[in-house]
C-alpha cells in the first residue's frame, strides 16, 4: 500500500471516530506535556541555583570544615580565631580567610517595638567574609578588625532584615536587641538579585568575638577563604588543611577543604537526579496514555472485523493490514506528542516567568519527546495491529 493511500485511510478512520481519537490523543498529550514541563522546569531551576551559588562566592572561594559525611561536628577545639590569621601569613596561596560561627532562629528586635521579635540567622565573622562571599555594603560599613579585637557590640544587617526592622527610617546608628543584648547598627548589606535562595535573607552579621558572647559558645563552624588566583586554589586548600591539622593534631576530627567548583558540582548532580526522578514519575502518565492507545486499537480491531475481511477479500495482504493499524496508532501518538510539546513548553515558560528564571527547553528535549511518542505508538500499537493482521479472511467475512 502506498504511503498516500495509507495516510488517507488512517485519516478517514480517525475522523470517523473523532471522540475516541480525541480522548486517546489527550492521554498522550498529558504524558508528553508533563515530561517536557518537568524537564524544562528542572533544568531552569538547576541553572538558577548554580548561578545564585556562583554569585554567593568568589570563583577563588574555598572553605575548610570538618567531614560532615563521617557524622562529625565542630567543637570549641576544632578551630581557633588565630587559625585564619596564621593561614594567611603562612600560605602565599591564600589571600583572605574568615572564621565563621553561626546560629539560626535568633531573636532580633528593635527596643520598645512592642512587636514579636524576628527570627533571623546570626553570622559571627571577620572583615574577610565580605570578600569571600562577594557581598557589598549598601549603607554604612562592614565589620572591621578593630570591632573584632574590641568585642564591639555592633551589627550589620542584610537588606531584608533592615527593611523589616526599620521600614520607615534609616537603620544606621540605631540600636537593636539580639537575644536581649543591645547592639548598634553600623551597616546594611546590598540586596542580592531576585533569587530562589531567599532563605539566606534576614541575616545579622556580628564581630565573631561578640557573637560568641551572645551564643555563649566558642565553636567556629568553618573557615571561609579566598585564593590569590583560581590556579592557586588547590594549593590554598592544601596549605590550609596542612596548617590546621598541624595546629590541632588532637582534635579527633577529619578536616576537608571544598572549593566553589566542587560545591557546584555536587548541587548539579543532586538537582539532575531530582529532575530525573520527577521526570520518571511524570513519564507514568505517558505510560498510562500508551495503555489507552492499546485499548482503543483493540476495540477498533473488534469493531472493524468486517472491514478487515473485506480488505483481505479484495487482495490486501497481512502486511497492509498491519501497516494500517500500526500507522493509526503512531498517528494518534504523534498528534498527542505535538500538542504535548506545545502545552508542556507553554507550562514551563509560564512557571519560569512566575519564578523569574529562564525556561530551558532544548531542541533535543523536543526531539526526544516526539521520538518517545512515536515509540509509544509503535510499542502499544504493535499488538492490536498484529491481531488485526492475523485474522483469518474466512472468519472475518462471516461478520458481513
pLDDT tens across 154-187, in order?
999 999 899 989 988 999 999 999 998 999 999 9
241, 277: one domain:
no
Q: Which of 46-60, 82-96, 312-326, 370-384 has the lowest mean pLDDT?
A: 46-60
Q: Which residues touch 95 (CB under 8 Å, ≥6 apart)? A: 60, 88, 131, 225, 226, 227, 228
The phi, psi pair for 362, rounded to 5°, reads -85, 160
Tens of pLDDT along 212-271? 999 999 999 999 999 998 888 889 999 999 999 999 987 888 999 988 776 666 666 776
- Averaged pLDDT for residues 328-336: 82
Higher local confidence (pLDDT), 334 or 384: 334
**How sure is the predictor about 205, in pLDDT bands with cuts at 50, 70 and 90?**
very high
Is the separation of the CB atoms in 380 and 329 below 8 Å? yes
Higher local confidence (pLDDT), 382 or 137: 137
- The number of distinct structural domains making up the chain is 2
- Averaged pLDDT for residues 114-143: 88
What's the Cα-to-Cα distance from 163 to each of 141, 151, 205, rounded to whole Å?
Answer: 17, 26, 15
Strand partners, 183: 176
- Averaged pLDDT for residues 87-102: 93
Number of neighbouring beta carbons within 10 Å of residue 76: 11
**How sure is the predictor about 79, in pLDDT bands with cuts at 50, 70 and 90?**
very high
The phi, psi pair for 256, rounded to 5°, reads -135, 150
3-state secondary structure 168-184: CCCCCCCEEEECCEEEE
| Residue 290 placed within a domain | yes
| Residue 348 placed within a domain | yes
140, 244: one domain:
yes
- Averaged pLDDT for residues 90-99: 93
**How sure is the predictor about 358, in pLDDT bands with cuts at 50, 70 and 90?**
low
Higher local confidence (pLDDT), 200 or 289: 289
| Residue 138 placed within a domain | yes
**Mean pLDDT score of the chain:** 81
| Residue 60 placed within a domain | no
DSSP 242-300: HHHHHH-TTS-S-EEEEEHHHHHHHHHHHHHHHHHHHHHHHHHHHHHHHHHHHHHHHHH
303, 186: one domain:
no
**How sure is the predictor about 41, in pLDDT bands with cuts at 50, 70 and 90?**
confident
Is the separation of the CB atoms in 233 and 62 below 8 Å? yes
Higher local confidence (pLDDT), 84 or 358: 84
280, 236: one domain:
no
pLDDT for res 393: 62
pLDDT for res 60: 84
Q: Is the pLDDT assigned to residue 1 strictly greater than 70? A: no
In this structure, what C-alpha cell is assigned to residue 309? 475481511
pLDDT for res 2: 66
In angstroms, the CA 135 to CA 196 distance is 17
In angstroms, the CA 302 to CA 308 distance is 10
Strand (E) positions, 47-198? 61-66, 94-109, 118-125, 137-140, 154-157, 175-178, 181-189
| Residue 64 placed within a domain | no
What's the Cα-to-Cα distance from 357 to each of 38, 50, 270, 275, 352, rounded to whole Å?
Answer: 14, 12, 19, 16, 5
pLDDT for res 240: 94
249, 111: one domain:
yes
Q: Is the dihedral of CA 235, 256, 124, 211 positive or negative?
A: negative
25, 153: one domain:
no
In angstroms, the CA 156 to CA 187 distance is 5
- Averaged pLDDT for residues 103-130: 87
220, 121: one domain:
yes
pLDDT for res 187: 94
What single DSSP character describes residue 28? H
231, 305: one domain:
no
CA 10-12-17 angle, 5° bins: 100
| Residue 61 placed within a domain | no
108, 135: one domain:
yes
pLDDT for res 291: 78
CA 286-292-293 angle, 5° bins: 90
Is the separation of the CB atoms in 318 and 392 below 8 Å? no
139, 227: one domain:
yes
In angstroms, the CA 18 to CA 292 distance is 15
| Residue 260 placed within a domain | no
Is the separation of the CB atoms in 43 and 275 below 8 Å? yes
Q: Which residue has the cell 461478520?
A: 399
Largest pairwise CA distance in the chain: 103
308, 353: one domain:
yes
pLDDT for res 157: 95
In this structure, what C-alpha cell is assigned to residue 239? 596549605
The phi, psi pair for 305, rounded to 5°, reads -60, -40
From 187, 222, 253, the end of a domain falls on 253
In angstroms, the CA 330 to CA 313 distance is 26
Q: With pLDDT > 90 as the criterion, what percentage of the chain qualifies?
A: 30
| Residue 62 placed within a domain | no
**What is this structure's pTM?**
0.63
pLDDT for res 199: 45
Find the domain containing 38 and state its range.
3-53+266-397
Q: Is the pLDDT assigned to residue 306 strictly greater than 90? A: no
212, 107: one domain:
yes
Q: Which residues touch 94 (CB under 8 Å, ≥6 apart)? A: 87, 88, 225, 226, 227, 228, 236, 239, 240
Amino acid at each position: 500500500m502506498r504511503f498516500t493511500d495509507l495516510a488517507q485511510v488512517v485519516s478517514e478512520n480517525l475522523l470517523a471516530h473523532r471522540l475516541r481519537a480525541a480522548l486517546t490523543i489527550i492521554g498522550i498529550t498529558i504524558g508528553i506535556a508533563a515530561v517536557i514541563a518537568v524537564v524544562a522546569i528542572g533544568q531552569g531551576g538547576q541553572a538558577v541555583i548554580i548561578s545564585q551559588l556562583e554569585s554567593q562566592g568568589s570563583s577563588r572561594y574555598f572553605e575548610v570544615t570538618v567531614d560532615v559525611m563521617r557524622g562529625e561536628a565542630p567543637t570549641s577545639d576544632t578551630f581557633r580565631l588565630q587559625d585564619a590569621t596564621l593561614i594567611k601569613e603562612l600560605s602565599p596561596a591564600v589571600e583572605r580567610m574568615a572564621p565563621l560561627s553561626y546560629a539560626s532562629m535568633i531573636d532580633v528586635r528593635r527596643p520598645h517595638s512592642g512587636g514579636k521579635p524576628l527570627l533571623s540567622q546570626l553570622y559571627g565573622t571577620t572583615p574577610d567574609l565580605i570578600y569571600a562571599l562577594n557581598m557589598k555594603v549598601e549603607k554604612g560599613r562592614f565589620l572591621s578588625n578593630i570591632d573584632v579585637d574590641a568585642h564591639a557590640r555592633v551589627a550589620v544587617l542584610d537588606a531584608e532584615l533592615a527593611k523589616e526592622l526599620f521600614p520607615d527610617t534609616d537603620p544606621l546608628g540605631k540600636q537593636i536587641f539580639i537575644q536581649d543584648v543591645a547592639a548598634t547598627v553600623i551597616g546594611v548589606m546590598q540586596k542580592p538579585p531576585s533569587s530562589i535562595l531567599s532563605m539566606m535573607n534576614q541575616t545579622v552579621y556580628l564581630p565573631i568575638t561578640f557573637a560568641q558572647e551572645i551564643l555563649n559558645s566558642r565553636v567556629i563552624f568553618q573557615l571561609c577563604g579566598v585564593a590569590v588566583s583560581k590556579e592557586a586554589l588547590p594549593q590554598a586548600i592544601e596549605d590550609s588543611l596542612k596548617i590546621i591539622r598541624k595546629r590541632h593534631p588532637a582534635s579527633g576530627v577529619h578536616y576537608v577543604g571544598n572549593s566553589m567548583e566542587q560545591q557546584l558540582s555536587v548541587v548539579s548532580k543532586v538537582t539532575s537526579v531530582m529532575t530525573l526522578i520527577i521526570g520518571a514519575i511524570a513519564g507514568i502518565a505517558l505510560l498510562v496514555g500508551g495503555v489507552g492507545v492499546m485499548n482503543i486499537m483493540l476495540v477498533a480491531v473488534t469493531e472493524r472485523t468486517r472491514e478487515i475481511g473485506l480488505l483481505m477479500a479484495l487482495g490486501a495482504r497481512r502486511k497492509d493490514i498491519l501497516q494500517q493499524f500500526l500507522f493509526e496508532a503512531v498517528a494518534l501518538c504523534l498528534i498527542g506528542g505535538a500538542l504535548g510539546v506545545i502545552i508542556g513548553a507553554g507550562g514551563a515558560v509560564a512557571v519560569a516567568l512566575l519564578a523569574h528564571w529562564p525556561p530551558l527547553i532544548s531542541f533535543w528535549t523536543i526531539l526526544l519527546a516526539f521520538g518517545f511518542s512515536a515509540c509509544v505508538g509503535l510499542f502499544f500499537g504493535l499488538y492490536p495491529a498484529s491481531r488485526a493482521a492475523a485474522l483469518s479472511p474466512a472468519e472475518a467475512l462471516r461478520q458481513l
